[in-house]
C-alpha cells in the first residue's frame, strides 16, 4: 500500500486502518513518508476528519513511537491542561492530590504561543531540574508521591508531527489534538486521567462547544484505552490567577498552596484536583474531592508536598523568597472608573511573551522574572486612573512593546457584568 493511495483515500473522505496509520507514522519517522506527503495528508484530515477508530489507531501508533511507563496497582492519576494564561493549576493540584494519597506522575510541556508551560514555570525555581531520566522520574513519584518533569522521551512521533502541524496550519484539528494529548498521557501510564479543557478568548479551543467536543473526545479516547477519565471545562476568558509570567506564577501558586491566593486559581485547582481524587477512587464524588483538596490547601499539607517535590528535584525550598525578580515594575491605569467588564486573556498572554516570559521563536531563551500582575479582574470596581496591571520588566524596549499590546486589554463600564462560569461542566 502506497502513501499516495492513503492520502488520496483520506482526501476522498475514506478511512485508514490502524495498520495504515502505522505505515504513515512509522514511514514519517524513518523518512519514507516526506514532509510534503504528511502536510497534504494532515490538510486532508482538516477537511475530511477522522473516525473514532482512526483517532484511536493514530494515538496508539504515537504511543508506540517512544518510552511507555507502567506503574504498580494503586491510584496513579495524571492531569492535562489544554493551555491558558496565568494558569498555575498544575503547581497547586499535583501536590494537593498527592497530599490526599494518590500518586501523580506528571510530564509537562513548555510554553506554547501566548500560553505558559509548567516546565518553564518550575525552572524559575533556582536548581529545579525538569530533565529527569525515566528512572529518576519513577523514583521521585514513588518516594515523594508526585513529580513534574519534561516530556522528552514519550511519544516522540507526536513531537515530530506537532512541529509540522505548527507550520502548516493544521494544529486546530480535533482528532489530531485528541491523539496528540492522549498519546503523551497514555505513554506516561497513569490509571486515571483528568483533562482541564479551557474555553474562552484566551484558550486554544475558543467557543465552549468546541471545548466540550474536545473534552468528550479526550474522555472517550482515554476510556477506550481502559483508563478512568473525566474532563473539566474551565473558563479562560480572563487570566485564571492574578499572575502571568514564570516566577510570578510560582509565587502565586505558593500562596494558593498555603491556603491563600486568588479566588479563580483556588477554585479551578480544587475542582480539577477533586475530580482527580474521584477518578483515583479516593473521593465518592467531585464535590467531596474538592472539599478534600481545599482541606489540604488550608492545613499546609499540600504546600509541604510541594516543597518535598521541589527538594527531590534539586530546587531550593526557600520559597517564595528565592524566586528571581525583574529589575523594574510599571503600573497601567484605567482611563475611566466603573466595573471591569473583561480582561483579555489573549492580550495579557501575548504581552507577557513580548516581555520575555515566553518564546517568540523556537529555542529562544525565556526570562523567568518578567510578567504581568493582573490587579483587577472582571467584576471588580475601579476608580478612574487606578492601576489595573503591574508589569514586571527588565528591558525598556520590551516594556514598550508589552504596553502596546496591553492597551485596551481591560474594558470598564458602568454596569456590573455577568461573569463566565469558572467551571462550566464536568464531562465524565
Query: Would you tell me which residues interact with its own copies (CB under 8 A)?
Result: 3-4, 7-8, 11, 34-44, 46-47, 164, 167-170
Question: Is 158 part of the annotated catalytic residue set?
Answer: yes
> In angstroms, what CA-CA distances link 135 with 1, 140, 142?
39, 9, 11
Question: Is 224 part of the annotated catalytic residue set?
Answer: no
Residue 89: closest CA among 214, 261, 346, 314: 261
Kindly give, in sequence order, each residue whose CB lies less than 8 Å from that of residue 218, ignoring residues fewer than 6 positions away. Answer: 80, 178, 181, 182, 193, 195, 197, 229, 231
CB 229 within 8 A of CB 212: no
Residue with smaller CB distance to its own copies, 35 or 407 = 35
Residue with smaller CB distance to its own copies, 168 or 341 = 168
Residue with smaller CB distance to its own copies, 13 or 413 = 13
Residue with smaller CB distance to its own copies, 42 or 250 = 42
| Beta carbon of residue 93, minimum distance to its own copies (angstroms, whole number) | 34
Catalytic residue (choose from 165, 305, 377, 392)? 165
| Beta carbon of residue 307, minimum distance to its own copies (angstroms, whole number) | 42
The string of DSSP letters for 385-417 reads T-EEEEEEES-HHHHHHHHHHHTT-EEEESSPP
Residue with smaller CB distance to its own copies, 13 or 74 = 13
Q: How far apart are CA 299 and CA 120, in angstroms?
A: 28
Strands 328-333 and 387-393: antiparallel
Residue with smaller CB distance to its own copies, 37 or 341 = 37
Question: Is 184 part of the annotated catalytic residue set?
Answer: yes
| Beta carbon of residue 76, minimum distance to its own copies (angstroms, whole number) | 37
Question: Is 180 part of the annotated catalytic residue set?
Answer: yes
Question: Is 205 part of the annotated catalytic residue set?
Answer: no
| Beta carbon of residue 176, minimum distance to its own copies (angstroms, whole number) | 13
Please, where are the H alpha helices in 228-385? 246-257, 263-279, 286-298, 301-312, 345-355
| Beta carbon of residue 63, minimum distance to its own copies (angstroms, whole number) | 23
Q: What is the largest CA-CA distance in the chain?
A: 69
Q: How far apart are CA 21 and CA 309, in angstroms?
A: 39
| Beta carbon of residue 3, minimum distance to its own copies (angstroms, whole number) | 8
Q: How far apart are CA 215 and CA 427, in angstroms?
A: 7
Catalytic residue (choose from 80, 228, 266, 342)? 80
Catalytic residue (choose from 79, 184, 198, 296)? 184
Q: Cell 512509522 appears where?
A: 26
Please list the active-site residues.
80, 158, 165, 180, 184
Amino acid at each position: 500500500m502506497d502513501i499516495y493511495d492513503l492520502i488520496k483515500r483520506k482526501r476522498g473522505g475514506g478511512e485508514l486502518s490502524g495498520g495504515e496509520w502505522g505505515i504513515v507514522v512509522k514511514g514519517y519517522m524513518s523518512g519514507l513518508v516526506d514532509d510534503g506527503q504528511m502536510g497534504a495528508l494532515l490538510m486532508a484530515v482538516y477537511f475530511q476528519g477522522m473516525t473514532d477508530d482512526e483517532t484511536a489507531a493514530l494515538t496508539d501508533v504515537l504511543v508506540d513511537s517512544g518510552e511507555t511507563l507502567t506503574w504498580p496497582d494503586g491510584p496513579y492519576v495524571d492531569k492535562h491542561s489544554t493551555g491558558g494564561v496565568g494558569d498555575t493549576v498544575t503547581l497547586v493540584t499535583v501536590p494537593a492530590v498527592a497530599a490526599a494519597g494518590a500518586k501523580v506522575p506528571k510530564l509537562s510541556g513548555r510554553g506554547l504561543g501566548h500560553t505558559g508551560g509548567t516546565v518553564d514555570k518550575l525552572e524559575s525555581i533556582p536548581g529545579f531540574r525538569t530533565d529527569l531520566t525515566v528512572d529518576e522520574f519513577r523514583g521521585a513519584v514513588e518516594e515523594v508521591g508526585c513529580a513534574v518533569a519534561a516530556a522528552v522521551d514519550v511519544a516522540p512521533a507526536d513531537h515530530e508531527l506537532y512541529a509540522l502541524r505548527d507550520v502548516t496550519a493544521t494544529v486546530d484539528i480535533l482528532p489530531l489534538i485528541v491523539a496528540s494529548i492522549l498519546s503523551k498521557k497514555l505513554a506516561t501510564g497513569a490509571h486515571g486521567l483528568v483533562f482541564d479543557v479551557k474555553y474562552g478568548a484566551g484558550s486554544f479551543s475558543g467557543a465552549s462547544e468546541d471545548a466540550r467536543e474536545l473534552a468528550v473526545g479526550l474522555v472517550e479516547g482515554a476510556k477506550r484505552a481502559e483508563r478512568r477519565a473525566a474532563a473539566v471545562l474551565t473558563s479562560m476568558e480572563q487570566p485564571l490567577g492574578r499572575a502571568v509570567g514564570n516566577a510570578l506564577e510560582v509565587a502565586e501558586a505558593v500562596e494558593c498552596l498555603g491556603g491563600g491566593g486568588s479566588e479563580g486559581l483556588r477554585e479551578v485547582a480544587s475542582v480539577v484536583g477533586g475530580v482527580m481524587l474521584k477518578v483515583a477512587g479516593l473521593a465518592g464524588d467531585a464535590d467531596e474531592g474538592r472539599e478534600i483538596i481545599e482541606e489540604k490547601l488550608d492545613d499546609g499539607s499540600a504546600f509541604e508536598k510541594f516543597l518535598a517535590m521541589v527538594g527531590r528535584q534539586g530546587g531550593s525550598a526557600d520559597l517564595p523568597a528565592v524566586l528571581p525578580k525583574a529589575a523594574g515594575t510599571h503600573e497601567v491605569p484605567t482611563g475611566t472608573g466603573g466595573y471591569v467588564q473583561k480582561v483579555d486573556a489573549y492580550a495579557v498572554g501575548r504581552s507577557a511573551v513580548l516581555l520575555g516570559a515566553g518564546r517568540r521563536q523556537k529555542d529562544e531563551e525565556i526570562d523567568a522574572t518578567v510578567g504581568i500582575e493582573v490587579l483587577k479582574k472582571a467584576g471588580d470596581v475601579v476608580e478612574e486612573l487606578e492601576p489595573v496591571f503591574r508589569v514586571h520588566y527588565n528591558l525598556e524596549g520590551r516594556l514598550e512593546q508589552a504596553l502596546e499590546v496591553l492597551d485596551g486589554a481591560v474594558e470598564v463600564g458602568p454596569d456590573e457584568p455577568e461573569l463566565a462560569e469558572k467551571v462550566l461542566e464536568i464531562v465524565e
